[in-house]
Amino acid sequence: MDKLSVMNAFRRIVERGSFARAAEDLGVSPALLSREVKLLEESLGTVMLSRTTRSMSLTDSGQLYYDEARGILDAVSQVETRIRDGAGVVRGHLKVNASSSFGQTVIAPMLPGFLDAYPDLRLTLSMDDRVIDMVEGGFDVSVRIRAAMPDSALVARKLGTMRQQVFAAPSYLERFGSPQAPQDVSQHRVIGFLLADHLSAWTLHGPSQTETVDVDPLIRVGNSLVLRDLLISGQGIGTLPGFASNDPVARGELVRILPDWELPAPEIFAVTASRLGMNAKVTAFLDHLRMALEP
């Protein structure tokens, strides 16, 4: 028995003074309403409505049930109205998780404009390079960069694609030369990203073919920005996502090597615990993030 549905039906019968009129309002048959009231009376062990062929009246129990049911139904209606009215309002506490490098390079610069646009919003930004438990951490959204998201109860929305290419500093290339083909990589000092799928093998896509090169990084780090800084200092060659490489390349601190080749591009996902996680504050944050990711 759906208690709220039965309460609503009972209230409508009392206020309309007729099973037939209440049934018409609710779009059901009078017989169904009569059966529901009978089941309600049986479950409570008391008569709620005194009925004759000509009239209907509330018993004392029926009056008590009607008064309480009306208060409950009005309270539920008020809560639903408040939620609907506030569904599009960006306020409250937004908890975001992202990798350290992506958070510092992409999310942090967009935060002032985002927070200026929504001054009533509280924000917690947690940065962790390892995948965290969103539900346990209480996060509204987690931004993850992966080749693909595994099947799970989480809901992932693709925000964009992040190119992954090979770089070195001019100082390194002056000392050791530049690899001309993927197989030349084995002759160079490689700096690897600990959490990458390609730590020990690079699958490089070229103009007309794909080659996989085994690598054994002499230096392994767990943060893309640390890897970037080591490359800039001339310590070796390595792969970087676009958000970490664009600025140093523009400044001439890094040079793209093997320019006709690149690794598979990982996807940028916004992950929420459920579809209900896409409330107004999450939607606003992801709109700003999409703009920050535009070239």
How many residues does this entry show for the chain? 295
At residue 87, the pLDDT reads 63
| Integer CA distances (angstroms), 144 to 56, 98, 159, 162, 272, in order | 63, 6, 10, 11, 11
Helix/strand/coil for 32: helix
At residue 152, the pLDDT reads 60
- State the average pLDDT over residues 139-153: 77
- State the average pLDDT over residues 150-161: 76
CA 193 to CA 19: how far, in whole Å? 72
Higher-confidence position of 89 and 125? 125
- State the average pLDDT over residues 217-231: 95
Mean pLDDT in the chain?
Answer: 88
- Provide the CB-side half-sphere exposure for 199 (13 A, CA): 12
Percent of the residues in the chain that have a pLDDT greater than 70, as a whole number: 92
Does pLDDT of 211 surpass 90? Answer: yes
Among candidate residues 189, 245, 177, the one with its CA nearest the CA of residue 215: 189
Q: Judge whether 163 and 249 are in contact, CB under 8 Å.
A: no
Tokens matching residue 293 = 């990711």
Does the 92-162+267-293 domain belong in CATH 3.40.190.10?
Answer: yes
CA 26 to CA 47: how far, in whole Å? 23
Bridge-based pairing state of the strands 201-205 and 155-161: unpaired
Classify residue 52 by burial, with Cβ atoms within 10 Å: 0-12, 13-18, 19+: exposed
Tokens matching residue 161 = 């694609």
Same CATH fold, 164-256 and 92-162+267-293?
A: yes
SS3 content of the chain, % helix, strand, coil (to 5): 45, 25, 30
- Provide the CB-side half-sphere exposure for 229 (13 A, CA): 6
Start-to-end CA span in the chain (Å): 56
At the top level of CATH, the class of 3-86 is mainly alpha
Percent of the residues in the chain that have a pLDDT greater than 90, as a whole number: 51
Helix/strand/coil for 253: coil
- Provide the CB-side half-sphere exposure for 152 (13 A, CA): 13
At residue 52, the pLDDT reads 76
Confidence of residue 157 (pLDDT cuts 50, 70, 90): confident
Q: Judge whether 125 and 103 are in contact, CB under 8 Å.
A: yes
At residue 84, the pLDDT reads 62
Domain borders along the chain are 3-86, 92-162+267-293, 164-256
Does pLDDT of 32 surpass 80? Answer: yes
Confidence of residue 149 (pLDDT cuts 50, 70, 90): low
Report residue 293 CA to chain centroid gap.
16
**pLDDT tens readout for residues 42-81:** 999 999 898 877 778 899 999 999 999 888 988 888 777 6
Higher-confidence position of 82 and 100? 100
- Which superfamily does CATH assign the domain made up of 164-256 to? Periplasmic binding protein-like II (3.40.190.10)
CA 72 to CA 66: how far, in whole Å? 10
Confidence of residue 1 (pLDDT cuts 50, 70, 90): low
